[in-house]
Chain A
């Protein structure tokens, strides 16, 4: 399965001068297990990593390490990097899913570089040219590897955010027509200024499209309101009034009522009723409806 992402990453690896890469890999491969062990030690020193290292058995991680080594050796031998790139991509996705912070995994992987460097000096210290080539090869290799893991880490995070945003948008603003000329807007959850703006827009558009003359806004499910949001509510009520619609606000909790008065928000312009039931009854009265219980 080659995605555009893995093809791009493979291209990045393939662009590294082969001589540099081979010199780096020769020294790296000789000490591969030692370097991996040192790196793992450094990784485990990070609390976030230690937490998830416990979830993977030792045999499993050894097997993974071996497979990864073979894949890398194969890629350097043949120059086809897709498989190795895909491994890095899934690694990045895993970090993203485990909500390990960008900084800590970046630091953890950089540790590998620090561990290898003395071995490169040991192997090529006698020849300056070879040492420079090997270091350049290492740097280029890790740059591409980091970029690959980083990209997939961010894509994973972005995907999560997108899903959550969609969920929030859907939950945010249902405007329900209850009767001819009557709308209900139940508001649940914390209202910040962005959401308040969304609510306002949704309500005013719905008033226009459904020709409602009374709208009941129920904020029973709102735990708290700050002065900015309270003022936004008041502006919404005034804007609706300019359009020819009366807004009835219901379900102000004691805490909100107290907070609004303490904040000094001018509530005289608001038409408030204790609960949703009372609000709907008031709206029916304004619209001239009379509800009779049959047989009562």
Chain B
């Protein structure tokens, strides 16, 4: 299942459609980094609102992905993490330092509009 990456001006939006397997996470990381290169990009949003479960591999991938995106320039916002997923991430040590987080896509948009 390919994950759609939408561009809105200088913003890239990745909305997951369901739980991803290990290979899909790796592919998503590559695709997102490629899309950042194609045009000037200020923000990248990863919307996890439909994700019920994250295993340790997915957590590590998300931490890596956010760091790589930040290194390429855009600020990274992770949106829509569910309560159970948030608690699991904390217990797995995936704290996303230096990454902005938002309640949902709407909140992420508001954060970008303010800076």
Which residue numbers of A lie inside 8 Å of B, CB to CB? Answer: 200-201, 204-205, 207-208, 211-213, 235-236, 238-245
Contacts of A201 in B (CB 8 A): 83
CB–CB B91/A243 < 8 A? no
9 other contacts beyond A201-B83, A235-B87, A242-B95, with CB at 8 A cut-off?
A205-B83, A211-B103, A236-B87, A238-B90, A240-B86, A242-B78, A243-B103, A244-B79, A244-B107
Question: CB-CB contacts of B76-115 with A at 8 A, as 1s and 0s?
Answer: 0011011100110111000110001111100100000000
**Residues of B with C-beta under 8 A to A240:** 86
Closest CB pairs A-B (n = 7): A204-B83, A239-B86, A244-B102, A244-B101, A242-B86, A244-B103, A238-B90
B83 touching A211, Cβ below 8 Å: no
> By DSSP majority rule, is chain A's interface helix, strand, loop, or mixed?
helix
A184–chain B nearest beta-carbon distance, Å: 17
Residues of A within 8 Å of B100, CB to CB, are: 244
B81 touches A243 (CB 8 A): yes
Interface of chain B: mostly helix, strand, loop or mixed? mixed
Q: B residues within 8 A CB of A236?
A: 87
CB of A239 within 8 A of CB of B90, answer yes
Residue in A204, A211, A212 whose CB lies within 8 Å of B86: A204
How far is the CB of B53 from the nearest CB of chain A, in Å? 15
In the complex, chain A residues whose CB is within 8 Å of the CB of B96 = 242
Q: Once the chains are docked, how many angstroms separate the CA of A240 from the CA of B81?
A: 9
Question: How far apart are the CA atoms of A239 and B104 in the complex, in Å?
Answer: 15
